[in-house]
């Protein structure tokens, strides 16, 4: 496993990383393909299996872990696992494309650690924790308890920002999208 470039976008939930990644996927000159993560949870809202995540059972997820079939994985919340299957990265590299990830902070740093030269690790920073909470409530996809869990986790995640190659401050979405595009364009054009 050692072919193309890896572009990691990580941030607390509600920071705008998914919106930025979707924007970048629309830029053909970047030659990107989205890495679909595996998740042991049920789909939320309009999420689709094989498009947003590979939704697999907790038992299946643990079998993949035991067989060492993940590039990285984490138990994000109790019995709620997320990970990147090695086969997913191989699938994208076989297409001759660069891999882009919309992934949690711990997973993003693991990928950067395993492939330091091939990876651009970008942390998307929200304007404030209060703004994060507002955005999460606005989604209307989770209970107040889940939102509070995400906010508590966000404080820890924000502390990891300096470990990333670069930080994009998402105070204005259009500016953040353009900054992300320039960063990724420069990175993928390097040999």
The CA distance from 97 to 88, in Å, is 12
The CA distance from 79 to 21, in Å, is 27
By DSSP bridging, strand 53-55 and strand 98-102 are: unpaired
Beta-sheet strands, E only, within the chain: 6-10, 32-34, 37-39, 53-55, 70-77, 80-85, 98-102, 119-125, 166-169
Q: Is 13 annotated as a binding residue?
A: yes
The CA distance from 145 to 150, in Å, is 9
Q: Is 16 annotated as a binding residue?
A: yes
How high is the pLDDT of residue 131?
Answer: 75
Which fold does the domain 6-189 belong to in CATH? Rossmann fold (3.40.50)
How high is the pLDDT of residue 14?
Answer: 76
Q: Is 12 annotated as a binding residue?
A: yes
- Residue 101 DSSP one-character state: E
How high is the pLDDT of residue 2?
Answer: 54
The CA distance from 134 to 144, in Å, is 11
For the chain (191 residues), the mean pLDDT of every run of 10, in chain order, is 85 86 97 96 90 94 97 88 95 95 92 95 87 74 76 83 95 94 96 73
- Residue 54 DSSP one-character state: E
How high is the pLDDT of residue 98?
Answer: 96
Q: Is 67 annotated as a binding residue?
A: no
pTM: 0.86
Rg (Cα) of the chain, in Å, rounded? 16
The CA distance from 188 to 79, in Å, is 36
Neighbouring C-beta atoms of residue 47, cutoff 10 Å = 14
Q: Is 50 annotated as a binding residue?
A: no
The answer to whether 161 and 51 are in contact (CB under 8 A) is: no
Q: Is 26 annotated as a binding residue?
A: no
How high is the pLDDT of residue 169?
Answer: 92
The CA distance from 31 to 35, in Å, is 13
């Amino acid at each position: 496993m050692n072919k193309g470039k890896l572009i990691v976008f990580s941030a607390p939930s509600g920071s705008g990383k998914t919106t930025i990644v979707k924007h970048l996927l629309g830029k053909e000159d970047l030659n990107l393909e989205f890495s679909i993560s595996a998740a042991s949870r049920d789909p939320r809202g309009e999420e689709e299996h094989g498009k947003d995540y590979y939704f697999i059972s907790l038992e299946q997820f643990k079998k993949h872990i035991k067989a060492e079939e993940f590039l990285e994985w984490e138990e994000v919340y109790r019995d709620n696992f997320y990970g990147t299957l090695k086969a997913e990265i191989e699938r994208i590299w076989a297409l001759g494309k660069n891999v882009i990830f919309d992934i949690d902070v711990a997973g993003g740093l693991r990928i950067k650690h395993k492939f330091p030269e091939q990876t651009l690790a970008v942390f998307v920073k929200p304007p404030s924790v209060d703004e994060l909470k507002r955005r999460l409530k606005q989604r209307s996809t989770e209970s107040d308890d889940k939102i509070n869990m995400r906010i508590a986790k966000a404080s820890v995640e924000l502390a990891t920002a300096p470990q990333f190659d670069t930080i994009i401050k998402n105070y204005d979405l259009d500016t953040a999208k353009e900054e992300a595009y320039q960063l990724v364009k420069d990175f993928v054009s390097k040999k």
